[in-house]
Homo-oligomer: A and B are copies of this chain.
């Protein structure tokens, strides 16, 4: 069993029960979400351990987040309680773009954004097998950014998902901050996608973008939406195709892919097989509302693949 430490903000997600503009939606379904929490649960579901570092509010939504993650097997005893409210977001689905989802945040000044370097138990981070965070954590506050920098300074086994959210910062700010991190702390694993790569290095062709990003990371996963994803590594590239399924909500699909990929690689799977499995995780993820409910076990991923190979 490997241990990943992840730093980020847990959010409560309120997903529209019906499609269309939120003004005409009458009911919302509550879920626990947040990119790093999604990574963590994906990691745990496939047989490893994950310690979550972050803050939640001293409120029902904070308790909700901690209870849910603890239930799923995430190690939550380092999560701090903060006097600010737990961040939340709404999801509008299929409007104005079919099969796409839009997030509306209420997270400014949230408990999660108060994450700060002092929240880090240094030994814990030092002894972890992997330290992971995302562009979201860099964006939510300068103290949160400092916390990522500090954590990355303590352990060379680093993973990062770019996850650029243009509601949190401008393309410029994103590029400047992320590249700053990469330069200071080169990565073992970089998970990104075509849109983010284009912001970071100005190239939208995956191969081109990776060529420019290679200096920052040993292994790069380039997500390509429903088409699939590629993994680039020393001297090689492997493309895993996606599966065509009815899409309910794409939010969290990238985290599912990333978290499952990291877990399997840490467990010793070869990169290509890990990516094949990780694609299953994101495929199942888009079929439901909620980011963590369909994160699969190894056994379930294998059942999926057996069936697909049959027909």
A residues neighboring B (CB under 8 Å) = 14, 17-30, 59-61, 63-64, 67-73, 85, 88, 92, 94-100, 104, 106, 108-109, 243, 245-248, 283-284, 287-290, 293-294, 296, 300-301, 303-304, 307
- CB-CB under 8 A for A98 and B25, given A71-B70, A104-B59: no
4 closest Cβ pairs, A-B complex: A71-B71, A96-B300, A23-B64, A22-B60
Residues of B within 8 A of A248 (CB): 19
Contact A109 B106 (CB under 8 A): no
Q: For the complex, what is the distance from the CA of A72 to the CA of B96, rounded to whole Å? A: 18
A189 to chain B, nearest CB (A): 25
Name the residue of chain B whose CB is nearest to the CB of A59. B104
Contact status of A289 and B18, CB under 8 A, knowing A30-B25, A60-B92, A68-B71? yes
Taking CB as reference atom, which chain B residue is nearest A94? B287
Instruction: State the oligomeric state as a number of copies.
Output: 6
Partner of A95, one of B29, B72, B92, B294: B294
* A-B contacts, 21 listed (Cβ < 8 Å): A14-B14, A17-B27, A19-B287, A19-B294, A20-B290, A21-B60, A23-B67, A26-B30, A27-B28, A27-B29, A61-B104, A67-B72, A68-B71, A70-B71, A85-B106, A96-B304, A97-B304, A98-B283, A98-B304, A109-B109, A246-B246
Query: Do A288 and B17 touch (CB < 8 A)?
Result: no
Q: Are B104 and A294 in contact (CB under 8 A)?
A: no
Given the interface contacts A27-B27, A293-B21, does A98 sit within 8 Å of B287 by beta carbon? yes
Q: Given the complex, which residues of B lie within 8 Å of A98, measured CB to CB?
A: 243, 245-246, 283-284, 287, 304
**Docked CA distance A73–B64 (Å):** 12
CA distance A96 to B299 in the complex (A): 9
> Which of chain B's residues has its CB closest to A23's CB?
B64
- Within 8 Å by CB of A67, from B59, B71, B99, B288, lies B71
B-side contacts of A26, CB under 8 Å: 26, 29-30
A22 and chain B: residue at smallest CB distance: B60
Kindly state the separation between the CA atoms of A63 and B307 in the bound complex, as whole angstroms: 24
A58 to chain B, nearest CB (A): 11
A283–B14 Cα distance when bound, in Å, is 25
A23 close to B61 (CB less than 8 A): yes
Q: How far is the CB of A73 from chain B (nearest CB, A)?
A: 7
User: Quick check: A95 and B300 within 8 Å, CB to CB?
Assistant: yes
Which residue of chain B lies nearest to A303 when distances are taken between CB atoms in the complex?
Answer: B96
The residues of B that contact A24 with a CB separation of less than 8 Å are 64, 290, 293-294
CB atoms of B25 and A97 under 8 A apart: no
